[in-house]
Structure 1
Amino acid sequence: MTGLEHFARLKQQVLSEYRKHYPYSGADWKSFSSQDIQNLIALIEDNLRETVSEKWVYTHLKPAENEKLPRKDMLDIFSRFCGYSGWDEFSHEPAAIQPKKKFRIWFLILGIGLLLTTILLVVFSDRAQPAKQIKVTDQYTGKPLPAEDVKVFEADPVGEKPLQMQEGSVVVPGEAKTTLVVKSPYYKTKKVVVDPKSNTTEIKVTPNDQAMMLKAFMQSDIKDWETRKVQLDKILSNDLEVIIMLKNNLGAEYFNKQEFAQKLIIPTPSLRQYKIIEITHGADQKIQFIRMAQQ
């Protein structure tokens, strides 16, 4: 294909590019009005920061046929207007191929679309993780812990948010890693990180022997008070402090080791109405502090 043939093709593409901005303009260069020429010159100035004279358009673009090829600097301007890097790229590209500007736009749109799709897939793949149901069980018996004996918290930098237990289980969101803290007056505190992509479905907690014995003493009938006295002396610290919160906001009662042990050695029916809320152990692992509430 000769240079003039390439120029004839360029003129048609310039016309097509112009119609994108002014769709109701003339169908060909012959019907291209003086106002169209002014519009075209303005487009080139705005988009390319280049200047084209009205005379040049009349001399080289308006004619149906051209006898000679225009200067290369002008060919570069109109090639760039059609989306090419310049005349060299345009004239070496087969006529059947559309301007690269269109392809660049489509590739840009396609690239952005693929990027957004990837981001959405990553985000929603995490969010799509279903909520996890985690059982809280006794390490030795394997039985679920009753809700009245244990509390589960979701830990974050701000603090701990309590989670509701139902039938020995808690439900945690599946979006991201969650740190769970299991607390109980009868079991050792345990912290577990639950990953939504892991197979974690159970948290096993270790019972505190002294606390479990204390619970048994409060709920069982007396059989051998001498044996119970010896056992209590082994698990209760000499500096034991016991606070019992009375119901109806009537205040609290305070007991030392001797006073509290006496209540347990010969228990009364009212003792079973007390619920242990908090137990603290000393360095010797003996129970040093007990907080209870009257039910």
Structure 2
Amino acid sequence: MEAANKKLFELLKQAVSDTFLKENHAPIAIGDWKGEEIERFQEDLFVHTRGRVSEKWFYTYFKNEAEKLPRIDMLNLLSEYAGYENWNTFRSKHGELLALEENPKRKNNKFLWLFLPVLPILIAMYFLLNSENSFRFCMIDEDRGEPITQIPLDVKILSEGQSPIYLKTDSSGCFEYSSKEKIIRFVVQSPYHKTDTIIRHIDANENANVPLATDDYALMLRYYSNGNLGELQKRKQQLNNLIADDAQIYQIFPAQSGIELYSKEEFINKLTVPTSSLKNINILDKRYRDGKIVKLKFSIE
């Protein structure tokens, strides 16, 4: 693959990754994505473009060093997903930038004085580009779709080469943080929600909501230990409203040894008794339609 085409394709891969990370959690480098992340990308690509790429294609062009560019129809598909009309549009926009990078020294230096009037603008742009980015995130209960405001949640900001910075969410369930970095990585911890590590780009953070999955074991343990049957029944009703009556619910067993099908009632009962299996439950996938869960896969670790 020619050097210019290689650079353009790397830029396209980065644009595809940035688009996916705006609404999904995955490693920043697209080459580090694995099974579940690749599957979610395939689904997201289809939703936005009605086009598909196979897992084999993904490994050939995104996880390995490709010897040549993909077919033009695939380049058009990925460019559309990244927000461009087609590959030619993407190439024309980034081709000029590549040309400037490859030819930093201008000829006809005697005309350099012509650029002096724009020097103040360049200086202003330099300080603008080096200013701090302001992030604001709000924690949302994944089941209820409401802000988590009952108690402050612990937030740990992770920066490469630096000690973690510890914050808490405010009364609205949100926190703010400023950094020169364009990407923020943080861990959210809650007594009644599962700990999660979040990675977001500055372009995707405006009024960003972070959904947190309920830790059903911790929640049920609190209800049972306090004898709070009213809250227990409220939780059951909440799950009943959240899950469709005809939902397909599967337990996936290790090493692909089989699956077990659950009814809605059986699954709700499993989520509302603090057993050891509930403590180790792991939701693998959830699909929604009209605000209700219609398909769910889980495993017990």
TM over 0.5, shorter chain: no
Q: Which has the higher contact order (CA 8 A, sep 6+)?
A: 2
Task: Please tell me whether Structure 1 or Structure 2 has the larger radius of gyration of its CA atoms.
Answer: 1
TM-score range for the pair, normalised by the shorter chain length: 0.3 to 0.5
